[in-house]
Amino acid sequence: MTSTGTNVIRPYQSYVYAYPHKTSYRPLPDRPVLRELWSPEPKDALSLYLHIPFCEVRCGFCNLFTRIGAPDELTTRYLDALERQALAVRDALGDAGREKVTDTIAGTSTGPVRFAAAAFGGGTPTFLTAGELERLCDIAERRMGADLRAVPFSVETSPATATADRLAVLAERGTTRLSIGVQSFVDDEARAAVRPQRRADVEAALSRIRDTAIPVLNIDLIYGIDGQTEATWRRSLDAALAWRPEELYLYPLYVRPLTGLGRLDGTGTEPGTGTDLDTVWDEQRLRLYRYGREHLLANGYEQVSMRMFRRTGGPDAALGGPDDHACQTDGMIGLGCGARSYTSGLHYSFDYAVDMRRIRTIIDDYTATEDFTRAEVGRRIDTDEARRRHLLQSLLQARGMEVAEYRTRFGTAPADDFPAELAAFADRGWLEENGGLLRLTPEGLAYSDALGPALFSPAVRAAMAAYEAK
């Protein structure tokens, strides 16, 4: 855990939504065949994630794998490649029941391969036109065999792309959750985050979304923007609450290398370098986090994780979206050049970059790919990493982790496998055990972005440190 040398832990070190981190992935020299990778895996409750790497603009804080715009029919070429990949992956999952795949829309069984959840992320999936979204849904259903109308189905959108025709397609195809990145309802703060938008346009998009009657609306907000105060933060919170979203995500702002804000900063350095400015920013973000948490709890929301809050009494979509898949479990099928896939022994994807030029090259290479039968980039998962992953992802949820469940899965107790880490968390008042449940305290949840990285293995830390940002 990064500290200042005075035993003060930096609260904002890394957002851990999946482990191991993608910067620990490396090219796989053996390029394993997907059919062999998936042959021994359970396939009766898979998750399907389709990644669209396009946005109309790129926000200053964004380090996601996405590019601005799609010239020269790039979206068509990308969907063509996505369909080729879907056919290859579905074949790798096994042929049993394959002849029934197109019958899933009519509700018949697909045999042993079944998808229990689906999500479209990015980028911005609704960057695609309404017709292209129809095709994306067809790829998920007719090529992969996912019944989108029968499973939790989450889609990400943005104010500018949440148009009536696109939303109509998503509603008709069974979307149960729509997540919109607003970040701030204060125009000056949006500009400070290099996110060009007007509140009036945001409100209009939210009105269109509510008109679709999609069961779960999630609104993303960001705290820690330059000049943001408790008063302006409350303005955004109250503006979001006016729409009674079923979910709200509160994200701390990070400044990452090669992002727009990183270039404006002139350094691209991450928080935690020990400078006075870091300390001031840490204090601002912690103060705003605590204010936002208490405000949402007082307004009928329950805390699910450091970031996620769910309205009590609202519908439960059972799927929080790409960042809230149960990442301590396996069986993730990712399609698209920014998606990851998880088997019990290997996490794999394609190459990763943040710099726009490198992203364009990776997307172009993906659209030209004909053979999707092998894994190209990834990281092997041994028993120690599986334990860390399960503990890390479980502890970062407010509900905590059942010790008995961990013991059943791994044959050991968490305190036996991670005595030093868990003792350190407890000593800091971050962790408590009660009735066989390991759970973070409210202060532990506030320090999730320090606690998570503290559970990274030495090997993953070394690989991440050796990664050259690109």
Alpha helices in 299-378 (DSSP H): 356-368
Q: Which amino acid is at 141?
A: E
User: What are the φ and ψ backbone dihedral angles of 229, each rounded to 5 degrees?
Assistant: -125, 175
Q: How many CA atoms lie within 13 A of 60 on its CB side?
A: 23
The token duo for 363 is 């997307």
Encoded amino acid at 295, one letter: H
340, 323 in Cβ contact below 8 A? Answer: no
DSSP helix/strand/coil, 155: strand
Alpha carbon distance, N-terminus to C-terminus of the chain: 25
The answer to whether 388 and 417 are in contact (CB under 8 A) is: no
Q: How far is CA 350 from the centre of its chain?
A: 16
d(C-alpha 344, C-alpha 321), whole Å: 21
Question: Is 301 strand, coil or helix?
Answer: strand
Closest CA to 44 of 126, 151, 138, 168: 151
Closest CA to 165 of 198, 131, 136, 194: 131
Digitized pLDDT (tens) for each residue of the chain, 470 residues in all: 655 444 678 999 988 888 999 899 999 999 999 999 999 999 999 999 999 998 776 555 555 666 676 777 999 999 999 999 999 999 999 855 444 444 443 333 334 799 999 999 988 999 999 999 999 999 999 999 999 999 999 999 999 999 999 999 999 999 999 999 999 999 999 888 767 789 999 999 999 999 999 999 999 999 999 889 999 999 999 999 999 999 999 999 987 543 334 444 443 344 444 456 788 889 999 999 999 999 999 999 999 999 999 999 866 544 444 444 344 467 999 999 989 999 999 999 998 877 778 888 888 999 999 999 999 999 999 999 999 999 999 999 999 999 999 999 999 999 999 999 999 999 999 999 999 999 999 999 999 999 999 999 999 999 999 988 76
Instruction: Report the distance separating Cα 327 and Cα 393, nearest Å.
Output: 7
Report which of 231, 234, 233, 226 is spatially closest to residue 277, judged by C-alpha positions.
Answer: 226
Question: How many angstroms separate the CA atoms of 57 and 358, rounded?
Answer: 17
| Cα–Cα distance, 110 to 90 (Å, whole number) | 12
- What DSSP state is assigned to residue 458? H
Give the predicted TM-score (pTM) of the model: 0.89
The helix/strand/coil state of 177 is strand
| Cα 250 from Cα 223, distance rounded (Å) | 7
CA dihedral 184, 211, 323, 448 (to 10 degrees): 50
Pairing of strands 247-252, 308-311: antiparallel
Separation of alpha carbons 232 and 418, rounded Å: 41
Q: Tokens for 150?
A: 């029968």
